[in-house]
């Protein structure tokens, strides 16, 4: 996590002089080697004197006009990153700036305006706000370069060497989970590079466990001591028969009291008297928390139904873990003050600062919002009824010049809208990239001729004079909630629609109906003949129930119901990911092949399907025709080039190889009446692909809690075919070997957990009977022999 180089590369101090204007007073530890007037004007934005305090953000090393050229300082550190970007440009520097106005009648104009900024390579710049506040206060009290030196040294003394470095899939899991103990095992000082399979928990001689502490993963009370002395703790062990005693009403309950310091266990209920110190009789259980329940499964589940919005945001916390593992806890010491710092661990490079998608959506979703200007096929995918947020997204991915205007609004607020827009276009940093490098969170008149010439810029301004220029394509007016499409956009960006022959080809294809999707009834209703005819004529199809409109309506409803930023971000991540898969299918239709991930293919006997999942071919062709223009616009952007590169890298380095994981899970999650042969091949392929921790994390990353988690797989526990049930047990057994898998299993409801435990116990009993010659071989699981040891060890 620490990486190379200092946390703070430079500290800057700017002051406003009534005679000479904005001046850059200090640069520490040495001059940056770029235009000092430009830096001073960025640090002292227009109208700063009207606000007592304002935060602004800007970037360095984006373009030639703001690329730094230090002479002496930090040469060793900077040299490691000078060519970290693919275009050969130096690494981006994120600048957090605090400007403050203090009224003083003894000075001319009655006020003193000063600004202090830090330049860092970390995108989570918000963590430095507390120390920057203290440093600027210190400078007002004692204006000298020593204040900058103290701030520089304090930030660079921050220790994050113990912060865990998460992979892309681990970040996706962490940001989708509200549990405060997710990946807690990575915070152990003695933790290995990869989390081991679940360790065993010993029981003290004078201690006893209730029924909720009955059996721990991979061990029983009788095997704990042996496991503790095992030189290879990651090797699975076979539990005793008491592990799965299902007498009375005891089932696997969701108790976190056994999840301590990475010694993770899952409590599985036992029959009467089978667990020391626990009394289980009939339907009454006295739990370890001192509460009496009518059933051992009465502990409430925090699972959510597939596709439903979670109804509780109260995360669980394992015993012994007092901190939120979404953050790494450290501190900065400044002049006798120790400031606690919470460093976010799941941040992607395209996510800078404390942006808010909720604020962005609410601002441009008011009933009084106006959208003016000509319609453009890249932007208006639903004609005049295209929602402003969708217009913004389309402008982002198709490379339009976007200007956020906030007249009489603090520059810091305007900057946050720009950063939110970058996150929106990139899928919160998880899917696309290339937005931050062309973003100017705050831009002023100084250097305006330079950033305005940047292709596809995303800029925030406070001066209304920019509205009169012809250098933008989309204007987002924050103060008045206006969205304006420039009148000359057709000249700047001639429409790149799909060729008519291509549209006719798509519409003329035979409409072969496939299995319908339970949650996609609205899609079926949208697929009307009017929409097809409009696409053939090149007209704008206008439908109130357009998929994009429904998506935004769902988000607004969730926001109104007080769901948090996490859910909104996850929904946009899914939206952008689906857009990429839709573009991949479009490329196949248009060019015969695709550069984006897997090509599309249906399931045939012995071969899994791949590509995006549609309810039927009619809806597929309809949606492709509707989105053809914005996909064509995106294919001509730099973001598309980055996506092609990333797609190749992800496919080459993905832990699970050989099949499209997203497609298989989408089929299980969405399709009704799935053929038994396909279900069996899906679960068997997944089971055979789960061998390592990385593979487990990848499969879990595609099953976020808000989309149902493991529920699509858990339904296979109730399938009529034994081979499907057994393969599903294999999958769950492998997930159970790791703490993160335990958390996902705990999120299943009581019936699903009970079904898993019952079937795992039945298999264990068969294997045990066979080892004693008490059961014929055909009653034992027919799964491959190389799976039996792993699955039995995880029980």
Phi, psi of 99 (to 5 degrees): -115, 135
Last residue of a domain, one of 151, 167, 183: 167
When the pLDDT of each residue in the chain is averaged and rounded to a whole number, the result is: 77
Q: Determine the Cα–Cα distance for residues 745 and 729; give it in Å rounded to an integer.
A: 12
d(Cα 102, Cα 111) in Å, to the nearest integer?
5
CA-based R_g, the chain, Å: 29
Q: Is pLDDT larger for residue 289 or for residue 441? A: 441
Name 296's Cβ contacts closer than 8 Å, sequence gap at least 6: 211, 212, 248, 249, 250, 251, 253, 269, 280, 285, 287
Give the DSSP per-residue string, 454-502: STT-EEEE--GGGGGSSS-SEEEETTTTEEEE-TTHHHHS---PPPHHH
pLDDT tens digits for range 494-547 = 876 555 545 555 555 443 333 333 333 333 333 333 444 443 444 455 777 788
CA distance 241 to 761: 8
Domain for residue 10, yes or no? yes
Do the beta carbons of residue 384 and residue 542 sit within 8 Å?
A: yes
405's enclosing H/E stretch is strand 402-405
- Boundary residue ending a domain (147, 167, 187): 167
With a threshold of 0.75, does the pTM exceed it?
A: yes
CA distance 544 to 42: 43
In the numeric block, which tokens belong to residue 56? 């602004």
55 in any annotated domain: yes
The predicted-structure confidence for 409-448, as pLDDT tens digits, reads as follows 999 999 999 999 999 999 999 999 999 999 999 988 876 6
- Which long-range contacts link 2-6 to residues 24+ away (Cβ below 8 Å)? 2/160, 2/161, 2/163, 3/121, 4/77, 4/80, 4/81, 5/74, 5/77, 5/78, 5/80, 5/81, 5/121, 6/74, 6/77, 6/155, 6/156
For 272-276, the CB contacts below 8 A with 24+ separation are 272/247, 272/248, 274/214, 274/242, 274/245, 274/247, 275/209, 275/210, 275/211, 275/213, 275/214, 275/215, 275/221, 275/242, 276/203, 276/208, 276/209, 276/221
When divided into structural domains, the chain yields a total of 2
Q: Identify the domain containing residue 51 by its residue range.
A: 1-70+91-167
Considering only residues 729 and 224, tell me which one the structure prediction assigns the higher pLDDT: 729
Q: Are 94 and 125 within 8 A, CB to CB?
A: yes
Tell me whether residue 679 is in a domain. Answer: yes
Instruction: State the helix-helix crossing angle for 529-536 and 617-635, rounded to 10 degrees.
Output: 40
Contacts of 260 (CB under 8 A, 6+ apart): 201, 318, 319, 320, 321
Q: List C-alpha distances in Å: 447 to 45, 63, 64, 518, 628.
A: 13, 11, 12, 54, 37
The tens digit of pLDDT for each residue in 666-712 reads 999 988 889 999 999 999 999 999 999 999 999 999 999 998 999 99
Q: Is 9 helix (H, G, I), strand (E, B) or coil?
A: strand
pLDDT tens per residue, range 601-618: 999 888 999 999 988 888
Decide if 754 contacts 297 (C-beta within 8 A): yes
DSSP annotation of 22: E
* Alpha carbons 28 and 587: distance in angstroms, whole number: 51
CATH of the domain at 39: 3.30.450.200
Q: What is the pLDDT of residues 545-588, one digit of tens each?
A: 788 999 999 999 999 999 999 999 999 999 999 999 999 999 99
Token pair of 481 as six digits: 């909630």
Of the three residues 134, 149, 167, the one that is the final residue of a domain is: 167
Q: pLDDT-based confidence at 28, cuts 50/70/90?
A: very high
Instruction: Please report whether residue 211 resides in a domain.
Output: no
d(C-alpha 488, C-alpha 494), whole Å: 10
């Amino acid at each position: 996590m620490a990486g190379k180089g200092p946390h703070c590369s430079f500290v800057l101090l700017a002051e406003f002089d009534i005679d000479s204007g904005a001046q850059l007073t200090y640069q520490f530890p040495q001059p940056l080697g770029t235009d000092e007037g430009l830096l001073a004007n960025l640090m002292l934005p227009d109208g700063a004197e009207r606000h007592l305090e304002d935060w602004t953000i800007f970037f360095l090393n984006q373009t030639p006009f703001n690329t730094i050229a230090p002479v002496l300082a930090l040469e060793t550190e900077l040299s490691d990153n000078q060519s970290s970007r693919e275009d050969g440009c130096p690494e981006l520097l994120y600048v957090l700036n605090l400007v403050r106005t203090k009224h003083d009648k003894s000075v001319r104009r009655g006020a003193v305006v000063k600004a202090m900024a830090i330049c860092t390579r970390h995108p989570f710049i918000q963590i430095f706000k507390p120390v920057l506040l203290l440093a600027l206060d210190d400078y007002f009290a004692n204006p000298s370069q020593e204040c900058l030196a103290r701030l520089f040294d304090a930030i660079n003394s921050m220790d994050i060497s113990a912060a865990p470095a998460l992979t892309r899939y681990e970040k996706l899991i962490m940001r989708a989970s509200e549990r405060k103990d997710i990946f807690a095992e990575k915070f152990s000082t003695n933790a290995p590079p990869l989390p081991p399979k679940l360790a065993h928990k010993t029981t003290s001689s004078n201690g006893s466990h209730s029924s909720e502490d009955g059996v721990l993963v991979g061990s029983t009370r009788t095997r704990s001591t042996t496991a503790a002395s095992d030189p290879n703790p990651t090797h699975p062990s076979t539990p005793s028969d008491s592990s799965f005693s299902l007498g009375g009403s005891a089932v696997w309950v969701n108790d976190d009291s056994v999840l301590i310091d990475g010694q993770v266990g899952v409590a599985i209920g036992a029959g009467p008297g089978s667990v020391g110190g626990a009394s289980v009789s009939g339907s009454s259980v006295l739990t370890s928390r001192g509460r009496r329940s009518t059933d051992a499964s009465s502990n409430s589940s925090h699972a959510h139904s597939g596709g439903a919005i979670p109804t509780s945001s109260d995360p669980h916390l394992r015993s012994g873990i007092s901190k939120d593992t979404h953050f790494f806890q450290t501190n900065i010491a400044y002049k006798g003050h120790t400031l606690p710092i919470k460093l976010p661990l799941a941040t992607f490079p395209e996510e800078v600062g404390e942006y808010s998608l909720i604020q962005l959506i609410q601002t441009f979703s008011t009933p009084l919002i106006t959208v003016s200007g000509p319609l453009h096929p890249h932007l208006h995918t639903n004609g005049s009824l295209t929602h402003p947020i969708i217009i913004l997204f389309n402008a982002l991915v198709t490379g339009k010049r976007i200007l956020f205007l906030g007249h009489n609004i603090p520059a810091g607020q305007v900057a946050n809208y720009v950063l939110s827009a970058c996150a929106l276009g990139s899928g919160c940093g998880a899917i696309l990239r290339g937005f931050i490098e062309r973003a100017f969170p705050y831009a002023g008149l100084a250097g305006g001729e330079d950033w305005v010439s940047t292709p596809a810029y995303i800029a925030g301004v406070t001066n209304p004079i920019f509205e009169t220029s012809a250098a933008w394509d989309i204007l987002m007016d924050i103060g008045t909630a206006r969205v304006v499409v420039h009148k000359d956009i057709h000249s700047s960006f001639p429409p790149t629609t799909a060729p008519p022959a291509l549209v006719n080809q798509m519409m003329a294809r035979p409409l072969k109906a496939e299995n319908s999707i339970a949650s996609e009834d609205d899609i079926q209703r949208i697929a009307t003949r009017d929409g097809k005819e409009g696409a053939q004529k090149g007209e704008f199809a206008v439908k109130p129930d357009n998929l994009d409109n429904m998506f935004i309506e769902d988000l607004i409803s969730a926001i109104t119901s007080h769901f948090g930023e996490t859910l909104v971000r996850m929904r946009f991540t899914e939206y952008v990911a689906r857009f990429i898969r839709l573009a991949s299918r479009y490329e196949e239709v248009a060019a015969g092949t695709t550069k984006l991930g897997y090509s599309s293919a249906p399931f045939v006997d012995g071969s899994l399907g791949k590509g995006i999942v549609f309810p039927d071919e009619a809806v597929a062709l309809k949606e492709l025709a509707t989105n053809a223009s914005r996909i064509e616009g995106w294919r001509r952007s730099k973001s598309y080039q980055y996506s092609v590169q990333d797609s190749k890298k992800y496919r080459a380095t993905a832990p699970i190889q050989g099949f499209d994981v997203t497609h298989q899970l989408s089929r299980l999650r969405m399709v009704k009446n799935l053929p038994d042969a396909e279900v069996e091949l899906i679960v068997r392929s997944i089971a055979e692909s789960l061998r390592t921790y990385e593979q487990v994390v990848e499969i879990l990353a595609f099953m976020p809690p808000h989309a149902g988690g493991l529920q699509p797989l858990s339904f296979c526990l109730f399938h009529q075919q034994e081979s499907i049930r057994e393969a599903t047990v294999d999958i769950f057994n492998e997930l159970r070997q790791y703490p993160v898998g335990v958390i996902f299993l705990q999120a299943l409801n009581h019936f699903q957990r009970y079904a898993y435990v019952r079937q795992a116990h039945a298999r264990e009993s068969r294997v045990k009977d066979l080892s004693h010659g008490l059961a014929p071989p055909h009653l034992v699981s027919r799964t491959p022999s190389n799976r039996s040891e792993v699955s039995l060890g995880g029980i």
